[in-house]
Structure 1
Amino acid sequence: MNRLILASGSPRRKELLQNVFIPFEVSVSHIEEHISDLLPPSQIVEQLAHQKANAVYEQHRDCVVLGADTVVTLDENILGKPKNKEDVRQMLLMLSGRKHLVYTGVAIISREKTCLFHGKTEVTFYDLTDEEIHAYISSGEPYDKAGGYGIQGLGAVLVQEIHGDYFNVVGLPLARTVRELKKFGITLST
């Protein structure tokens, strides 16, 4: 069986792969991300995932490498990871009572081939009170997450509804990823 390397330090991506019994190792990519702001979000996440996966593949050419990148968009603007408390507050105020899109790009690279794809999920937030925003910021959860929230944690109480793949919002469109990995000889090991 081929060895799988996850080119991500994300604990959420790691947990998702563990939950479906896919054996893998982790090698974090430390690249400086370069991408054109002129591209649509779907292409941005695919290109970022490819850059991360390719950097790790260069060190592990005998393996299959999986890279991923997630962004949150509101009105065509990308909301990255917040830099500080005020950044989180502004993001949550913008998302309050509104629909936004979450894109996760995936790149799978082996010696034989490369596969790029993305997932897109629509998320709607409840109208958030100042107290709810303050409590969420105080939890410390939003700081390492695109858009300033994590749907799999306390951030779940901010979300009114989603349309699309829940796991895409967590950070990896899991079912599609598993199906694509099968094409690379990576299968579940239950």
Structure 2
Amino acid sequence: MKTVIDYEKYGELTAFSQVVLLSNSPRRRDLLSFLNPEIAGVEVDERAIEDHYMAVYAKEDFLTRAAKTCCEISKAKSDKLLEDGKLYISADTIVLSDDKIFNKPKDLSEAETMLRSYFGKSHYVVTSVCLRTTTYLDVFYAVARLDFVDYYDGLDEAVQSYVRDKRPLDKSGAYGIQELDPRFVKEIHGNLYTVIGLPVAEVSARLFAPKTP
């Protein structure tokens, strides 16, 4: 399974003196701490963008369709007044299961339904990233596949405890991988940090690794 896919790119990345993370996510802020980013929260109508681009890409397979839509959400977050000398990073994470997009649950009941639905099968997590300056754009997405164990009654208390204690309402798909009971996940295919919310190694390589001729 290819786990990193380019979506759109133009221009050449030149020197920057400041990084701006266009996200209030504490997880992304921690993952990018090595860049000491300035934090600037942005609001976009994610559901309107999702509805539009899921229609635009209707002929694609569901995973590709949703992933490209996710990229457009990341791009939209960076559509602000850009300043010279600053690199802007925006990202979006979606969970895909049974050819549906699982966004943040509206309540704890929906969160529990989402979480229980993963057992005994595979689902995907996609994180899109937009790297942008006044003269440069690089948008890509990373994919990870998670295989959950078959459900058994001994996991019931762990499921209920997670929903009760771990605040799943602010998380796409109703969970944060770093908080899950380790008994839930049988295998992860792809980068763990894609699931957490930012494929950091890929971001760093695109910013700092020497370019091959």
Give the structure-2-normalised TM-score: 0.78
Structure 2: gaps spanning 5 or more residues = 1-15, 58-64
Q: 1:7 aligns with which of 12, 19, 22?
A: 22
Alignment-derived partner of residue 153 in structure 1: 179
Alignment-derived partner of residue 138 in structure 1: 164
Q: d(CA) in 1 for partners of 2:175 and 2:150? A: 15
Following TM superposition, by how much is the alpha carbon of 1:23 offset from its aligned partner in structure 2, in angstroms? 2.2
Is 1:68 the counterpart of 2:91? The answer is: yes
- Number of aligned residue pairs: 178
Q: d(CA) in 2 for partners of 1:52 and 1:122? A: 25
Q: How does 1:13-162 map to 2 (within 5 A)?
A: 13-18=28-33, 21-33=34-46, 34-35=49-50, 36=52, 37-38=54-55, 39=57, 40-55=65-80, 58=81, 60-62=82-84, 63-128=86-151, 129-162=155-188
RMSD: 1.6
Q: Deviations over 1:97-154 (max 9, x none)?
A: 2110000000011011100000000011123443222111111332211111101123
Q: Deviations over 1:31-67 (max 9, x none)?
A: 2222322331110111111111223xx1x42221100
Following TM superposition, by how much is the alpha carbon of 1:82 offset from its aligned partner in structure 2, in angstroms? 0.8
Identity %: 31
Where 1:112 maps in the other structure, the secondary structure is coil
Q: Is this contact kept in 1: 2:166–2:179, CA < 8 A?
A: no
Q: Is this contact kept in 1: 2:92–2:129, CA < 8 A?
A: yes
Q: Which runs of 4+ in 1 moved over 4 A?
A: none
Q: Is this contact kept in 1: 2:158–2:181, CA < 8 A?
A: no
Where 1:51 maps in the other structure, the secondary structure is helix
Say which is worse superposed, 138-147 or 66-75, in terms of deviation. 138-147
Q: Is this contact kept in 2: 1:54–1:109, CA < 8 A?
A: no
Q: Greater CA radius of gyration, 1 or 2?
A: 2
Alignment-derived partner of residue 5 in structure 2: none
Q: Deviations over 1:60-94 (max 9, x none)?
A: 42221100000000122100111101110110121
Q: Is this contact kept in 1: 2:94–2:102, CA < 8 A?
A: yes
